[in-house]
Amino acid sequence: MKPPFISTHAIRLKPGEDLKSGIEKVVKENNIRAGWVATCVGSLTDYSIRFANQPDGVMGTGHFEIISLVGTISINGSHIHISISDSTGKTFGGHLMPGCKIYTTAEIVLQSTDKYEFTREKDGSTPWEELQIKEK
């Protein structure tokens, strides 16, 4: 059995770019079928985050540090969470939505493997399309 191949994709998003769109572009260009966010540091001027168990996202403007970015990524659908802090250190986070605009930079490292394929399907365990992991 051959060992799985791990690929690393490093990008830097610049001021004004959208965080989610930037990640989705890399996923699409590299045909990532099973990947994850390895790390991200940077800052935002605008955020759009959906909090737990809420139907809609909330938006805000100011200056925010990206404290954490985690999640699974795939051309079949991604699920990414973000934590940010404001100028007083107040930290909050939730589901990454379109509209998170880069302030100075976002330095992102994504990784992927050829061992799996991630899809999103309703499986009866919840009302939502959840991660399905298929070994190749």
Domains of the chain: which residue ranges? 6-115
pLDDT at position 62 is 98
At position 108, the amino acid (one-letter code) is I
> Which positions of the chain have pLDDT values less than 70?
none
> Could you tell me which residues are beta bridge partners of residue 73?
35
Question: pLDDT digit string (tens) for 43-58?
Answer: 999 999 999 989 999 9
Residue 102 pLDDT? 98
Q: With contact defined as beta carbons under 8 Å apart, do 45 and 17 qualify? A: no
Element (H, E) at 18: none
Could you give the CA distance from residue 85 to residue 67 in angstroms, rounded to a whole number? Answer: 7
Residue 2, pLDDT score = 76
Strand partners, 7: 112
Query: In sequence order, which residues have a C-beta less than 8 Å from that of residue 15 and are 6 or more positions away?
Result: 102, 103, 104, 105
Distance CA 41, CA 4 (A): 27
- CATH match for 6-115 among 3.30.1330.80, 3.30.1330.10, 3.40.50.12160, 3.40.980.10: 3.30.1330.80
Question: Which pTM does this prediction carry?
Answer: 0.94
CA distance 54 to 117: 29
Would you state the pLDDT for residue 3?
A: 81
